[in-house]
Amino acid sequence: MIELWDDFPKRATQFVPSVPLGGTSSSRGSKRKAPMVDIMDSQFDKLTTRLDGFMDVMGSSNAHFEKISSIIERQVIAIEKRNEILNNQVEIMRRTPSFQYTEDNIWEMLSTMNIQEDTLMEQ
pLDDT at 69 > cutoff 50: yes
Tell me the HSE value of 97 on the side-chain side, using a 13 A CA sphere: 3
Q: Whole-angstrom Cα distance, residue 82 to residue 75? A: 10
Identify the top-confidence range among 1-5, 65-69, 115-119: 65-69
Confidence (pLDDT) at 21: 53
Confidence (pLDDT) at 34: 73
Confidence (pLDDT) at 1: 47
26 — phi, psi (to 5°)? -115, 75
Q: What does the pLDDT look like over 70-106, one tens digit per residue?
A: 999 999 999 999 999 999 999 988 888 777 888 888 8
Q: Whole-angstrom Cα distance, residue 90 to residue 96? A: 10
> Which sequence spans correspond to the domains of the chain?
65-97
Q: What does the pLDDT look like over 12-43, one tens digit per residue?
A: 555 545 555 555 555 555 566 678 888 898 89
DSSP helix/strand/coil, 52: helix
**Which comes out higher in pLDDT, residue 33 or 107?**
107
Confidence (pLDDT) at 20: 53
